[in-house]
Structure 1
Amino acid sequence: MCADTPENTLDYKTTLNLPKTDFPMRAGLPKREPEWLKRWAEIGVYDRLREKEGRAPFTLHDGPPYANGHLHIGHALNKTIKDMIVRSHQMMGYDARYVPGWDCHGLPIEWKIEEQYRQKGKDKDAVDVVEFRQECRAFADKWVDIQREEFKRLGITGNWDDPYLTMNYHAEAVIADEFMKFLMNGTLYQGSKPVMWSPVEKTALAEAEIEYHDHQSHTIWVPFSFSNAQGDLAEARVVIWTTTPWTIPSNKAVAYGPKISYGLYRVDATEEESWTKPGDLYLFADALAEDALGKSRVTEFTRVRDVAASEFAGAILKHPFNGLEGADGFWDYEVPMIDGDHVTDDAGTGFVHTAPSHGQDDYECFVARNWIDRMTHNVGEESQFLSHVPFFAGLQVFDRKGKEGKANNAVIAKLVEAGGIIARGRVKHSYPHSWRSKAPVIFRNTPQWFASVDKEVGDGQDKLGKTIRDRALNAIDQEVKWHPQTGRNRLYSMMEARPDWVLSRQRAWGVPLTCFTKKDTLPTDPDFLLRNDELNARIKAAFEEDGADVWYTDGFKEKVLEGIANPADYDQVYDVLDVWFDSGSTHAFVLRDREDGTDDGIADVYMEGTDQHRGWFHSSLLQSVGTNGRAPYRNVVTHGFTLDEKGNKMSKSLGNTIVPETVVKQYGADILRLWVAQTDYMADQRIGPEILKGVADSYRRLRNTMRYMLGALGNFTEEDRVDPADMPELERWVLHRLAELDVKVREGYKAFDFQGVFSAIFNFATVDLSAFYFDIRKDALYCDGNTLRRRASRTVMDILFHRLTTWLAPIMVFTMEDVWLERFPGEGSSVHLVDIPDTPAAWLDEDLAAKWSKVRQVRRVVTAALEVQRVEKVIGSSLEAAPEVYVADEALLNLVNSVEFEDVCITSAITVNAGAAPDGAFTMPEVEGVAVVFAKAEGQKCQRSWKILPDVGSDPEFPDVSARDAEALHELRAAGLI
């Protein structure tokens, strides 16, 4: 903005108030971020925040990640959102505490140790259980340390020195104690019922551990003959359809729908190869008969008559294997027909094969009839038929790797041999799989331990209801806010329909079900479970001292039962608790028991992915309402899943995974955090190389804004400060925008809406500041002397600095620290130790805002008109222009004339006229009544400000600058600066 002239050798560039800062344009985040992490640890930022007194507590309770591998992008998303919640609330005046935690028990870790054993040729069952558990503990401990450092590298704040671990002795003691509360309140029971069973992992699974994938299953149509029918039904057969042929040997009934229209059908002709023949009579639901007969290769058939559903009442069928040679009468039992509301005519035949040991609806039908004694136990833990089952003993449904075994084909072959099949096929359908092994599961009847969700809870805490289900449903609506609201709907529907909670797992690494059962006593007997408060206290104390491993040591039963009961009369239960019970109990040993927990044991926020509606949100609610009669959380925030740029699920096989460590090494953690802030995390979000480039560009724009402010604020002192009441309109307009934005930022942070917060701040910084306010005031900042206008602008810059750094600090934790320390480099200084400043509501000025909104509209037309001239190379800079502006509306004309409009438009001069636009004037359709006629500025170019003005040379001491610039130079000379 300067040049040397023969008349004046003064270098005008040295006289300008150009921005001065050492703040680098290039962030260098990957290299520099670890330095800030080290500094925060040294000055103890998290602990120093806890020392602030008189602040309302705010607690986000961490849903524990599993300690068994490096972080993936979902971990980074999850922990970053949590960090933004914690940091933003801290900076809004709360004591925002965050205790990170880990889930340490369970099958995935146990599975890893078993893999190591297999590689070494060791037999897990031959290893002492305590030794095995200690190896699991060491494995989890190793991964806790690894993940802790990976989380810290993302800038996550929290009590990293003292996290909670579900395998800590106190945690194990509390988990056992919480389990024993179910024991004492009457909701715990042992039942033999079908549960989802993993043949690969050899354990029962809860619904939360199940995911659904496409699976190709066998389909068969099997006819059952009547044994007690009269008339034409005596010769007819009822046809069922199933996708699980392996369950046919366990069939115990056939269900029909009381409201379905049925018919008796006669086969008249078939294809050459068919398992039916002319004259055969079959019963079908009318809506499904044609399809079923077609599958049976029947070419012609006759519907003989209507068959009322009532005709099936009391009917007895024969099992397809009834009387089969070599079966020794194994299937020679009655197969009753039963009515069931679950039977439909949407698919199949209208009759449902019922094996109560292998299906939930089937089981409930038998429970309703008090037929539990008719349950079968034909399938073992590896999905193999047990030795007592004729023909099929040892054959598996799925093998150890989750592949189809020989059971289905063997059953089908035997049905063909017995004349017990009329059609077969294959169908691809959604089928339950273990979310850990990814292998298909089966429904299998096994003795398991359950918490009843519909039995009255005998603890007297019935404000929300008398049963766990009622309490959970009422808590969802009465005690919790959901973000988004769809989370409420999802969890509510799950709670409405969920079965009893399967608490037991047949594994070794976990907290045992700390209970004893009386020998030679039925589970339905009131004395079956030993309930004793003193016993429970002893168990809890032992776990506090030595951890849950003590349960497996010799003599433990005798020790804890001494003086309470005869150990010889009781069996000790060795199943371990579902890990969801572990994590569902964390509210007790973290929120309730820790000094940095909460006074009432309730968290302000639980925040996890949408899959946790069936997982942690679900189990925590069940556990808490069962033991405390209330929800453990006030707010539940949910995020979606992370997809690649094309919207595909990430997969190593597809090569589309994004690893947090890779992003951090290339860009820095702040870029990853900024991606989180820019996305609508409550829906599924996308990430990839191109998206990250866009995020990095947003980052650069923000960084440049902050760098410009730092430069403009060089040497700013309190003596430079101007009271807002004395500021020019433009500065007061900026303060108005700040006051508006402060409300939006605080409301957004309170609502966990980081996308809304960041979008508002980013638009303000780039549109209102960089492209408007900074652009206009650049001339005054650089060229003015000690004017009110310049001092007011710098005061506003200081105010902006404190708001922008603190508003953005929860998101860009490293960059805002960098910006802060550039101005305030003290030894213990940190932006993360300060709060968002209070912004006076008095700064709001709606009338002023409305005025400047209209002024900016007129400015848009002027800048667009000048851009045309720039593109056509008529001018190089807007300072070469002195346009004429025509404003038709008198009120708008007065507004424009009341401001320094040439400064607003960054021109050397401007003329504002009343009236309509002359011919050929530049206009914009969206801004009516405003027109611009281009004209070049008249006068000489000021060698200091580059404005073209008629008063250049008016001061003989500085003949090549304008009067304004000459006055500034005189000030500098008087101060001895030039």
Structure 2
Amino acid sequence: MCADTPEYKHTLNLPRTDFPMRAGLPKREPEWLARWEKIGVYDRLREKTGRQPFTLHDGPPYANGHLHIGHALNKILKDMVVRSQQMMGKDARYIPGWDCHGLPIEWKIEEKYRELGQNKDEINVVDFRQECRKFAEGWVDIQRDEFKRLGITGNWEDPYLTMNFHAERVIAEEFQKFLMTGTLYQGSKPVMWSPVEKTALAEAEVEYHDKESFTIWVKFKVTKFALPDLDVAGEEVALDDRTSTASIEAELAQDFEGASVVIWTTTPWTIPSNKAVVWGADYSYGLYEVTDTPEECWAAKGERFIVADKLAAQVFTKARLQEGQWRRVRDVTNAQLEAMTLQHPLAGAEGAQGEWDDPRDFRAADFVTDEEGTGFVHCAPSHGMEEFELYRDLGMLQQVITYNVMDDGTFREDLPFFGGKRILREKAKKGNWEGDANAAIMSKLAEVGGLLARGKIKHSYPHSWRSKAPVIYRNTPQWFAAIDKPVGDGQDTYGTTIRERALRSIDELVRWTPQKGRNRLYSMIEARPDWVLSRQRAWGVPLTCFTKKGAKPTDPDYLLRDPAVNARILEAFENEGADAWYKEGAKERFLGNEVNHDDYEQVFDILDVWFDSGSTHAFVLRDREDGSEDGMADLYLEGTDQHRGWFHSSMLQACGTKGHAPYRGVLTHGFTLDQNGMKMSKSIGNTVAPEQVVQQYGADILRLWVAQSDYTVDLRIGDEILKGVADSYRRLRNTMRYMLGSLADFTESDRVAPAEMPELERWVLHRLAELDQTVREGYAKYDFQGVFQAVFTFATVDLSAFYFDIRKDALYCDGDTLRRRSARTVLDILFHRLTKWLAPMLTFTMEEVWLERFGGEDSSVHLEDFVETPADWRDEALAAKWAIVRKVRRVVTGALEVQRTAKVIGASLEAAPTVYVDAETAKVLETVAFDDLCITSGIHVSTDAAPADAFKIEDVAGIAVVFAKAEGEKCQRCWKILPDVGSHAHAGVCGRCDEALS
């Protein structure tokens, strides 16, 4: 509103503020960052005493490369948690951290050596590790600045790093607890192995991508048939037609000997390591004979094959046999299968040197299915966990384990036919990692008549998330933590084994957000095998243990368990870091005089980096002054992939060393996708870098994107989405600007007690009381989307479109009235709540708003707490009454909009409509200034029947409006059209304005 004449314009209480409409966030935000650092906001918050601690423990990002949008999502969510908990009265601490050891960094340093033509293994290991350390340090500094730019609060001056000397000492100390309690053991079993990186991998280091694999159907000949006992033969031939058991057995032998059991596999490279074939005891098998063969077929006429009946047609189709070119000869029973002896297809091959001449074990197994393949599974227990466990439980591992595959994925040099062949290339060629091993094996099988069919299949296959190369299962000596062995450390509240403690912690100790996270981690831990702790690399914390020469891993004295030796190692690590393990004379130094140095060997494997990050609770939460009083975190917050990563390893590690989970709460968020729901990819060109968003829009827009999103599912981001976020931001900014302008000269002398306020103001206070509860409950359960939507809807619908719109007239045109002072009091109350409620989300903007009103050298909204809202502001009866008022107002507003669109009126103040309502509603409207609420110059309320052509809204029954223009003259100050204009002391104004001017 604005006066029509110059002499009245200066008499209005127009808003006054320097708060700009355009935010200019990319330029302004760094200024606020510098200010926060200068006044030490984070440290000053720690000075607030007597508060309940709240610790969000940072899952360490890897110190390698610039931030991606997933990093931004994660850190912004963490910041919202920390800031909101602090403003709700907690001492909310946040210590940023970095994961610094491991293969990605080591790989980068190796690449540098390879470019120089140098062999990494010829470099002094301590020098090599120092280069890795410097590389990590550089990226920590870069990422720290990138995180800070997003407005993330925390102890940036003193973060935790897994490569700090104290951290390396504690990681070794935590490992030693596994050593001393007997949960550590050395075993040989198939583990996921990266031939490209030459190390074992954990499940968390693996991602699944489609891969095209060779698939082959291979013949294992039946060389012998010998029934142990006729009564278990299951033979259909009537006994009175046979003269002896021998004749029945001879007939069966004639049927089966020379036939082949057919297996199917997608890993031809495992055939040289085959030691057995297994079948399913519950399936139907048959003996089939080839009756005719087409050209280019590896089956011969008269050749016989044993396969599962359900899969027979599929198998023979793959062998290029058509219907009518094979026939079923007979049933094959379990007893008959048990009577067979099989040979490897390469047995007796010229040049094989007897490598595969031993008979293959042949038995039933539970893991066989008849859903695909042949109903038989070839077993290479060195390269498959199910086969390994089968023969482990049978006590036959010694007979079936092979060591044919080297750490680089090549076959051992002395393996006949295939020595030196590679399963995978050292480097991919046009995205293809296929080596020469599979082709060589298939060729040899075809040459010796062992191949029935071959093809290709595209399937989901594990790849290393670092090198992106496929992985294999490879039997290799590794160090494990036994998760089902009693720990024996006296911390048995949640169970005696690591698995028991973890499962009970999940259900009894941890709060899950969302709840489905519980099910995911529980099922993973319930089914997981022992934890592989060792890696065959150089950059990490070593397994600080010694093994006895000549002893077997199963011997009680195989591992040295000496507290004095352990103490010397820890002291050295504290002062020198883990490099001490690799220095000349380290073995003698640590073993000291109590142990014969020649009796023991030093272990040089390093710990899985997930053990490093899983141990952070000990050197961050437990050991730091700004950690946690009980060594536990109130919250771990990471992406949903960390159920198999950090959440998982932290749980296992802590259950092994402290007896229970290291966290009381776990929050998981989804992944980031482009705006079309596609996975982001540099090759596709659909990535969204945080830096780009910050430079174009500002960090607060990125933060608002997070606040508006449902983080429990995958989140989409892109230009169109960010434009929508920016629009929401502008609407909020306008709301804050309006309040600032209207509060320009507000003082305590203007304040009005709630009991003295008009009903409209008391209704706003009621809504604030409702919203206060919503905000606090939402922040407490980390429902940022719910909090933002509630506050945004209140600001844009209840305030901007309703309360502000109505009270604009009183604020601008009233004199020193109770109504105006009440409205400004409510605006002050709103200001203190909205700025603080939104500060955890719009960190920079709410600081700007706050400083615009309460500037000062040490002032900051982030030093404030949420304002306590009196419970007696809630007035349900008043709220019910005003719900009726707003419902009627909506119909009036709709009717006026029709007239405005038709250009009958230009503004609602030109109208004085009649509203038709029932008697009860009329009584309600009589108690309020309904014309002011509808922003009309007059309004008439009638209980008569509404005319047929009255304006109505379909979903609002019983209310109708008939439009009429206001009668009178237009007030030159407030623009209302009233009959009394021109009849007062001041020319051309209404009575209200005349009083204000007087």
Q: Same fold (TM over 0.5)?
A: yes
Q: CA deviation at 1:895?
A: 1.1
Deviations 1:98-135 (A, max 9, x none): 00000000000000111111122222111100000000
What corresponds to 1:441 in structure 2? 471
Q: State whether residues 260 and 309 of structure 1, in contact with CA within 8 Å, keep that contact through their aligned partners in structure 2.
A: no
What corresponds to 1:215 in structure 2? 211
Alignment of 1:121-140 (within 5 A): 121-140=117-136
Q: Distance in 2 between matches of 1:964 and 1:473?
A: 73
Alignment of 1:924-939 (within 5 A): 924-939=953-968
Of 593, 597, 605, the match for 1:567: 597
Q: State whether residues 209 and 462 of structure 2, in contact with CA within 8 Å, keep that contact through their aligned partners in structure 1.
A: yes
Alignment of 1:881-892 (within 5 A): 881-887=911-917, 889-892=918-921
Of 267, 275, 279, the match for 1:244: 267
Deviations 1:938-959 (A, max 9, x none): 111000000001111221x202
Of 897, 914, 926, the match for 2:926: 897
Q: Distance in 2 between matches of 1:445 and 1:137?
A: 31
Q: Distance in 2 between matches of 1:338 and 1:599?
A: 57
Of 429, 443, 456, the match for 1:426: 456
Q: State whether residues 3 and 974 of structure 2, in contact with CA within 8 Å, keep that contact through their aligned partners in structure 1.
A: no
Q: Distance in 2 between matches of 1:950 and 1:863?
A: 23
Q: Distance in 2 between matches of 1:168 and 1:345?
A: 54
Deviations 1:38-88 (A, max 9, x none): 111111100000000110000000000000111111111100000000000
Unmatched tracts of structure 1, length 5 or more: 971-978
Match of 1:208, SS state, is helix
What corresponds to 2:422 in structure 1? 396
Q: Does 1:648 align with 2:678?
A: yes
What corresponds to 2:250 in structure 1? none
What corresponds to 1:305 in structure 2? 330
What corresponds to 2:314 in structure 1? 291
Q: State whether residues 900 and 907 of structure 2, in contact with CA within 8 Å, keep that contact through their aligned partners in structure 1.
A: yes
Q: State whether residues 64 and 136 of structure 2, in contact with CA within 8 Å, keep that contact through their aligned partners in structure 1.
A: yes
Match of 1:415, SS state, is helix
Q: CA deviation at 1:497?
A: 1.5
Alignment of 1:907-946 (within 5 A): 907-946=936-975
Deviations 1:288-309 (A, max 9, x none): 1110011112232222222122
Q: State whether residues 253 and 335 of structure 1, in contact with CA within 8 Å, keep that contact through their aligned partners in structure 2.
A: yes
Q: CA deviation at 1:281?
A: 1.4
Match of 2:427, SS state, is coil
Deviations 1:191-237 (A, max 9, x none): 11111111111111011111111111111111111233142222321
Of 759, 782, 802, the match for 1:729: 759
Alignment of 1:575-614 (within 5 A): 575-614=605-644
Q: CA deviation at 1:314?
A: 5.7
Q: Distance in 1 between matches of 2:474 and 2:316?
A: 31
Letter in 1 for 2:376: F
Deviations 1:698-741 (A, max 9, x none): 11110010000001011111111000011110000000000000
Letter in 2 for 1:164: Y
Q: Does 1:488 align with 2:514?
A: no
Letter in 2 for 1:625: C
Deviations 1:445-498 (A, max 9, x none): 111111111122121222222221121111111111111111111111111111
Q: CA deviation at 1:366?
A: 1.1
Q: State whether residues 315 and 336 of structure 1, in contact with CA within 8 Å, keep that contact through their aligned partners in structure 2.
A: no
Alignment of 1:703-718 (within 5 A): 703-718=733-748
Q: CA deviation at 1:313?
A: 2.7
Of 259, 266, 286, the match for 2:289: 266
Letter in 2 for 1:64: P
Match of 1:269, SS state, is coil
Match of 1:35, SS state, is helix
Q: Which moved more, 1:79-88 or 1:226-235?
A: 226-235
Of 948, 951, 971, the match for 2:980: 951
Q: Is the alpha carbon distance of 1:310 and 1:13 closer, same or farther for their aligned partners in structure 2, counting shifts above 3 Å? A: farther
Q: Distance in 1 between matches of 2:214 and 2:417?
A: 19
Q: Does 1:337 align with 2:367?
A: no
Q: Distance in 2 between matches of 1:828 and 1:420?
A: 83
Match of 1:568, SS state, is helix
Of 336, 339, 347, the match for 1:322: 347
Q: Distance in 1 between matches of 2:2 and 2:398?
A: 100
What corresponds to 1:528 in structure 2? 558
Q: Which moved more, 1:849-858 or 1:764-773?
A: 849-858
What corresponds to 1:968 in structure 2? 996
Q: State whether residues 258 and 310 of structure 1, in contact with CA within 8 Å, keep that contact through their aligned partners in structure 2.
A: no
Q: Does 1:76 align with 2:72?
A: yes
Q: Is the alpha carbon distance of 1:854 and 1:301 closer, same or farther for their aligned partners in structure 2, counting shifts above 3 Å? A: same
What corresponds to 1:500 in structure 2? 530
Deviations 1:11-59 (A, max 9, x none): 1110000111111111111111111111111111000000001100000
Letter in 2 for 1:330: E
| Equivalences, count | 964
Q: State whether residues 382 and 399 of structure 1, in contact with CA within 8 Å, keep that contact through their aligned partners in structure 2.
A: no
Match of 2:213, SS state, is strand
Q: CA deviation at 1:2?
A: 5.0
Q: Which moved more, 1:257-266 or 1:104-113?
A: 257-266
Match of 2:451, SS state, is coil
Deviations 1:739-774 (A, max 9, x none): 000000011101111110000000000000000000
What corresponds to 1:360 in structure 2? 385
What corresponds to 2:229 in structure 1? none
Q: CA deviation at 1:347?
A: 0.4
Could you list the structure 1 runs, at least 4 aligned residues long, displaced by more than 6 angstroms after superposition. Answer: none
What corresponds to 1:377 in structure 2? 403
> Identity across aligned pairs (percent)?
69
What corresponds to 1:346 in structure 2? 371
Q: Distance in 1 between matches of 2:825 and 2:116?
A: 71
Q: CA deviation at 1:372?
A: 1.7
Alignment of 1:638-677 (within 5 A): 638-677=668-707
Letter in 2 for 1:55: R
Of 171, 175, 195, the match for 1:175: 171
Q: Distance in 2 between matches of 1:26 and 1:330?
A: 79
Q: Which moved more, 1:306-315 or 1:98-107?
A: 306-315
Q: CA deviation at 1:3?
A: 5.4
What corresponds to 2:880 in structure 1? 850
What corresponds to 2:247 in structure 1? none
Q: Does 1:834 align with 2:864?
A: yes
What corresponds to 2:835 in structure 1? 805
What is the TM-score with the length of structure 1 in the denominator?
0.98
Q: Does 1:386 align with 2:416?
A: no
Q: Distance in 2 between matches of 1:885 and 1:728?
A: 23
Q: CA deviation at 1:812?
A: 0.5
Q: Is the alpha carbon distance of 1:151 and 1:842 closer, same or farther for their aligned partners in structure 2, counting shifts above 3 Å? A: same
What corresponds to 1:976 in structure 2? none
Q: Distance in 2 between matches of 1:313 and 1:833?
A: 78
Q: Distance in 1 between matches of 2:871 and 2:919?
A: 32
Q: State whether residues 3 and 975 of structure 2, in contact with CA within 8 Å, keep that contact through their aligned partners in structure 1.
A: no
Q: Does 1:451 align with 2:481?
A: yes
Q: Does 1:691 align with 2:716?
A: no
Q: Which moved more, 1:353-362 or 1:893-902?
A: 893-902
Q: Which moved more, 1:111-120 or 1:88-97?
A: 111-120
Q: Does 1:96 align with 2:113?
A: no
Q: State whether residues 762 and 873 of structure 2, in contact with CA within 8 Å, keep that contact through their aligned partners in structure 1.
A: yes
Q: State whether residues 4 and 973 of structure 2, in contact with CA within 8 Å, keep that contact through their aligned partners in structure 1.
A: no
Q: State whether residues 614 and 650 of structure 2, in contact with CA within 8 Å, keep that contact through their aligned partners in structure 1.
A: yes
Q: Does 1:556 align with 2:586?
A: yes
